[in-house]
Structure 1
Amino acid sequence: MTTVDRAGPVHWRDASGADAIHIDADRYPELFDGILKKRFMAFVIDWLLLAVATVFLTLVFVVLGLLTFGLAWAALPFVTPLMWLAYFTFSIGSPSSATPGMRFMGIEVRTWDGARPEYLQGALQTLVFYLSWSTTIILFLFPFFNKRRRCLHDYLIGTVVINSPSSIPPDAQVISH
C-alpha cells in the first residue's frame, strides 16, 4: 500500500519506506489535476521574481561599473543568465523539488519514477527548457497530448511535474496494486 506522508516534508513513500513511486497518471490522477494551469502560473511567478532580481542585479552592476570605470559592466551579460540558471537549478534540485513559484502553486518536479531530482538534473532541465524555446509551438502543444502533461523538456530530461502530495485533498484515494 502506498501512503502519502502529509505532515512535515513532502514525500511519497512506498511500503518499504523508499522516497519514490512510479508516477502513473491512470493510478494517481490527482497528481495531475489542473497541472497545466498551475505550471503556467508558477512560470509567471518565477519570471516576476527573477525580473525583480535582474533589475536589482543591474542596479548593483551600474554602481560597480561606476566604481570600476566601466569594467564591471562587461560581466553583467554573463552574471544574469548564471543567476537565472542558479535560481532554477538550486530550486529544482532542493529538497522541495520546486521553484518558489511552483511551491506557491502546490506543484513539484519529480523524476519519471517519482524520486526527487538532483542539482545536475535541475540544471539540465533548465538548460533544455530554455533551448527548447526555439521550438515554441512544440513546447506549448506537447503537454496536451499526454496524460502526465509533460512538456518536451520533461521527456528529454526524464522529469514530470506533479501536484505536491501535501496539496492533494486528504480524501483523495491513493492506492497501490
Structure 2
Amino acid sequence: MRLADPITQPQFYRDVTTKRLIAWVIDTIIIALISLIIVPFTAFIALFFILGLMAVVGFIYRVITLATGSGTWGMRLMAIEIRDHSGARLDTSQAFLHTLGYTISWAITPLQLISIVLMATSNKGQGLTDNFIGTAAMNRKARA
C-alpha cells in the first residue's frame, strides 16, 4: 500500500492545506489552554516562561495525538490525518520525528516559511517535514 496519487485520486488531498491551517489554530488554542491549566501548579512562575511551557506542552501533545490517532485533535476535528509513505498511520517513532521536524521548522523561521510554501504549492500539500520523512496529510473520509 502506498500514499494515494494526487492526480488519479485528488479526493484524498482536496482542501487539506486549508484544513491543516484550521487544525493548527485549534491545536494552538488547546495547547494554550493546557498550558494555562498547568501555570497555577508552578506557583505562577511558569507565566515568566509561558512560551517555553507552550513549546513543551505542544511537543508532548503532538507526539501523543499523532501516535494514537495519526492526527492531532484539531486534525481529527477537520477530518484529516497524517499517513506515512506506505499509507499507514504513524507509530510513536514516526510521530516523534514528525513533531521534531515541526518544532525545528518553527524554531528556524525560514524553514517554516519554506514549509508553508511547500504545503500551498505541492500536489499532496506536504510541508517540509512531510517531504523529509515521507508523510502526507490526507482526508480521513476519503480513506474509508
**Structure 2 length normalisation: TM-score?**
0.85
List gaps (5 residues or longer) in structure 1.
1-19, 66-71, 171-177
Q: Summarize the alignment of residues 122-161 of structure 1 with structure 2, pairs less than 5 Å apart.
A: 122-133=95-106, 134=108, 135=110, 136-161=112-137
Distance in 1 (CA, whole Å) between partners of 2:70 and 2:113 is 27
1:40 is displaced (CA, Å) by 0.2
| Residue 92 (str. 1) matches residue 66 (str. 2) | yes
Which aligned segments of 4 or more residues in structure 1 are displaced greater than 3 angstroms? 75-82
Structure 1 contact 23–113 (Cα < 8 Å) conserved: no
* Aligned-residue CA RMSD (Å): 2.6
Aligned length: 141
Distance in 1 (CA, whole Å) between partners of 2:25 and 2:127 is 16
**Structure 1 length normalisation: TM-score?**
0.70
User: Measured at CA, do residues 59 and 131 of structure 1 come closer, stay the same or move farther in structure 2, by a change above 3 Å?
Assistant: same
Distance in 2 (CA, whole Å) between partners of 1:144 and 1:34 is 10
Residue from 56, 59, 71 that aligns with 1:82 = 56
- Name 2:3's counterpart in structure 1: 22
Deviations 1:64-120 (A, max 9, x none): x7xxxxxx99x98876543322211111111x2111100100000100220111111
- Which protein has the bigger helix share? 2
User: Measured at CA, do residues 78 and 144 of structure 1 come closer, stay the same or move farther in structure 2, by a change above 3 Å?
Assistant: closer
Letter in 1 for 2:97: L
- Name 1:7's counterpart in structure 2: none
User: Measured at CA, do residues 53 and 156 of structure 1 come closer, stay the same or move farther in structure 2, by a change above 3 Å?
Assistant: same
User: Measured at CA, do residues 45 and 80 of structure 1 come closer, stay the same or move farther in structure 2, by a change above 3 Å?
Assistant: closer
List gaps (5 residues or longer) in structure 2.
none
Distance in 2 (CA, whole Å) between partners of 1:155 and 1:89 is 18
3-state secondary structure, aligned to 1:120: helix
- Name 2:43's counterpart in structure 1: 62
Structure 1 contact 108–162 (Cα < 8 Å) conserved: yes
- Name 1:101's counterpart in structure 2: 74
User: Measured at CA, do residues 157 and 145 of structure 1 come closer, stay the same or move farther in structure 2, by a change above 3 Å?
Assistant: same
- Name 1:117's counterpart in structure 2: 90
Distance in 1 (CA, whole Å) between partners of 2:119 and 2:54 is 29
Structure 2 contact 2–85 (Cα < 8 Å) conserved: no
Structure 2 contact 3–83 (Cα < 8 Å) conserved: no
Rg bigger for which structure?
1
Residue from 163, 166, 176 that aligns with 2:139 = 163
1:24 is displaced (CA, Å) by 1.2
Distance in 2 (CA, whole Å) between partners of 1:98 and 1:92 is 5
